[in-house]
Amino acid sequence: MMRIVLLGPPGSGKGTQASAIQDRRHIPHLASGDLLRAHVADNTGLGRRAKPYMDRGDLVPDELILDMMAERLAQPDTQRGYALDGFPRTVAQAEALHRRLLGLGQRLDAVIYLRTPEAELLRRLSGRRICPNCNAIYHQDTMPPKREGICDRCDSPLVQREDEQPDVVRNRLRVYAEQTDPLLDYYRAQDLLHEVDATIGVDRVLAEIDRVVDTASKQTAKDQT
Catalytic residue ranges = 14, 89, 128, 161, 172
Long-range contacts, stretch 13-21, CB < 8 angstroms, 24+ apart: 13/114, 13/116, 13/198, 13/202, 13/205, 14/85, 14/86, 14/114, 15/85, 16/202, 17/112, 17/114, 17/202, 17/205, 17/206, 17/209, 18/83, 18/84, 18/85, 20/206, 20/209, 21/83, 21/209, 21/213
- Alpha-carbon distance of 18 to 83, in angstroms, equals 6
Residues 179, 151: Cα–Cα separation, whole Å: 36
Question: Cα(19)–Cα(119) distance, rounded to whole angstroms?
Answer: 24
Contact 178, 69 (CB under 8 A): no
Calpha distance 220→191 (Å, rounded): 13
